[in-house]
């Protein structure tokens, strides 16, 4: 358990920064493709920065990296409601960047769970996040009434992979939080590649940064981003799609 890497250069000085979703993207593809991507990152830490942009929480990320996945230097977690730095073995929220998120959420967890209790097609997830509530969703049963209830509370809903229903603070998602972090760190937007595969990555791929929808991505996501000139549609699945985009967009030397 060596913890996060400590390159001699700040992330803002790197030639390239990968801002990537986890499930289906950074963790997607064959074992060999993942090994190739991870080894390339570890061998080039002085010129490559790594940010995880995920629906996963900090505890999951720490356990994942202790298991052999490259440590990121920063995390946009919980579908954009966590913005954190990685310090050794810890994922530490950056309070100054999360203040707006906390204010927009206004401690709404209990209110959301109460309001949506008993709504058809929604089963609340046991994990309690700080600034969101997540449900497993049956798409054949969920109704417009659930969406209307979220709207009436002044919050946002997000459906992804046709099986998850998230309730989020108004205006908060992966894309806005990633852009807030990049600006805070002084990273050039043109050096960043945002990578994703489901609709909860849509705001990240739409936000204007160079982006890739990896092979195997959710059809609804591909349909939404295909008209966008700054988004590359990869053929390679998961990790292979990330390297394909880096190569095709000439963002960094690749294996």
pTM listed for this prediction: 0.92
Give the C-alpha separation, 136 to 132, whole Å. Answer: 14
Give the C-alpha separation, 198 to 226, whole Å. Answer: 13
pLDDT digits over 44-91, tens only? 999 999 999 998 888 889 889 988 899 999 999 999 999 999 988 788
CATH entry 3.40.50.1000 includes domain 11-100+172-248? yes
Domain locations in the chain? Answer: 11-100+172-248, 106-168
Which H or E run contains 232?
A: strand 231-237
Report the Cα 16 to chain-centroid distance in Å: 18
- Up-side HSE of residue 123: CA atoms within 13 Å toward CB? 7
pLDDT digits over 9-40, tens only? 899 999 999 999 999 999 999 999 999 999 99
CATH entry 3.90.1070.10 includes domain 106-168? yes
pLDDT for the residue numbered 68:
86
pLDDT digits over 151-179, tens only? 999 999 999 888 999 999 999 999 999 99
């Amino acid at each position: 358990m060596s913890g996060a890497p400590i390159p001699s250069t700040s992330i803002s000085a790197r030639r390239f920064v990968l801002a990537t979703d986890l499930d289906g993207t950074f963790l997607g593809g064959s074992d060999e493709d993942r090994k190739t991507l991870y080894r390339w990152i570890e061998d080039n830490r002085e010129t490559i920065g790594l940010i995880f942009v995920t629906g996963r929480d900090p505890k999951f990320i720490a356990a994942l990296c202790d298991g052999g996945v490259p440590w990121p230097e920063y995390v946009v977690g919980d579908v954009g409601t966590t913005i954190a730095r990685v310090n050794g073995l810890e994922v530490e929220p950056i309070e100054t960047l999360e203040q707006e998120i906390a204010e927009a959420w206004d401690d709404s967890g209990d209110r959301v769970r109460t309001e949506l209790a008993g709504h058809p097609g929604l089963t609340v997830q046991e994990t309690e996040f700080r600034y969101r509530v997540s449900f497993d969703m049956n798409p054949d049963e969920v109704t417009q009434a659930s969406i209307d209830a979220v709207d009436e509370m002044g919050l946002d809903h997000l459906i992804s992979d046709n099986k998850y229903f998230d309730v989020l603070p108004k205006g908060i998602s992966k894309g806005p939080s990633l852009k807030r972090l990049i600006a805070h760190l002084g990273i050039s937007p043109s050096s960043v590649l945002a990578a994703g595969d489901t609709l909860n990555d849509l705001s990240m791929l739409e936000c204007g940064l160079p982006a890739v929808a990896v092979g195997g991505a959710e059809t609804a996501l591909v349909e939404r981003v295909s008209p966008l000139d700054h988004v590359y549609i990869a053929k390679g699945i998961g990790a292979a799609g990330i390297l394909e985009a880096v190569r095709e967009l000439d963002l960094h030397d690749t294996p």
